[in-house]
Structure 1
């Protein structure tokens, strides 16, 4: 009998070790990991540089508190600022915490309270970030949500024009909705959102929890578009598996957080910062990002070829190594079949298979994964 809460739909697999893009379960079975811990281990499992950095730091200091100066925090913050539109960084422990901080900062800076988000978005599971999320399924059973959050159709600028007003503190969005189905925002839509925010003295918050840290082939996903956010949130890949998160903002907005206005006991702790520094040294390198784009394009082309003649497949969407394959039916049975054949994949809603391989995956491992997908698809075609 388990003594754990039953709030996860766990697979009947226990992963006991991993290296790079490969994972191994309690029976010794090998898997190619196309989940990366849900977009976390962007540099693969047990990345040597990250392991070495954390081991070195572990022998020096694990935790003090944010009452003290931190050179490590300063170094990681500088890397984030140099590769983004931001100027200041607040460290926390997760994406939900980063988004919670962004909501608080927007409200405090503007003195306004309405936050506009979009249907099928996902921003976290705290009360505020759950209220910001545009999916009813994550809110069921938790009672009334805070009333200052408004959800609109994604990529519908006319709906935003009707809703945004002088009471709007911020518009918050993902440039590619990850949990919502790997749906990208349109370039014209994002430019229009930024323009409307400026016209209404509202802030533009870009949630980069899943799209950031090289996942889309750039340091942050918004950099594929001609927009400049006021606030950027990051987590998941930032520590390559060591829990850490960050909120990045411009200088003007950051001034609203003064001593005592917000905090985090473990945010920016030395172990997390050592992992983040080692991660960013690799993930923000231009040659590395070029390789992410090349491998992402290669994988997407191979997948499109495989699924081309499968009538239930409605298309392959990707940006870098963030890939969604939409079906006209539920995909969970196919994801289960992939797992049984040695490939770990995710869903994004009922009808989308989501692939988030480590950014360090080799072409040989991609080809190996394609063989597994093809084998699974051939058998699956016979069953449907």
Structure 2
């Protein structure tokens, strides 16, 4: 639905990380010694907490003179902070750790990472881990440790080959596409999910995703999700726009309109590209606009029939009864209160009742 922007220019003086597969203790020792001899530090990544102590002891035997620390997610916050701070200050030479260092760690002097059992990791994760080193002017090294190439499956071998070949700076997007090929695409809109998008409708599905993202970002929501029940058809037919992806894109754009100007511009765009506007698609424009405006008035539900619209407000609506009566009087609307939260508007056949309802709702939310 959205285009992709790719940043291909690396930071100044940044060098690509060299990636290699290693198999033996001797190769591990050489990698450790190479980094320590140039005054650097090493991440040794082992992603099993159960035996991380024994692995750390094996590493210690390879380089007895090195100062070594351990970090994993089951440590106390104070213990973790102490170890990472010591590593950051250069008081430790080697940090034996889990993938807890995958994000948020930026230590310029740590320029070698050894990933134990690298065949168990996905492409994107190895690429992310590789990004922990080579974050300064000094060359970084990523060693992927595997018992033997014959002991791992074909997919794992392909992953290791790809991560070695794509070592240039800015290769992240290429890695992502290869990962997509190896693992297969997801099915956000299809039946392979645990729920079915068709049961709730595409427009509501997009709205739910957008709200979830806003919630994670901590953004305030000053509107309500308004349910629409309409006796009028409102959709874009396959005969009008044959291409499914284009049709979905227009649904997305209709779901976001906030003003009559935006809505009319979108209808004009459709008319210019696909010909004469169909009634059900024009209804879609007005009903989506009505729904979005009604949400700002804290309307829970819109029930739309020819010449009649029922609006049910949330009990916490910011629209006061006095403001509601004032707007309805100025609009010379015919209406009836069914109860304290429900209002029915009545219109004559000659009226464009969808447009008039949008106008009334717009007046209600004006400061």
User: Do they fold alike, i.e. is TM over 0.5?
Assistant: no
Rg larger for: 2
What TM-score, normalized to structure 2? 0.29
- Structure possessing the higher relative contact order (Cα contacts under 8 Å, 6 or more residues apart): 1
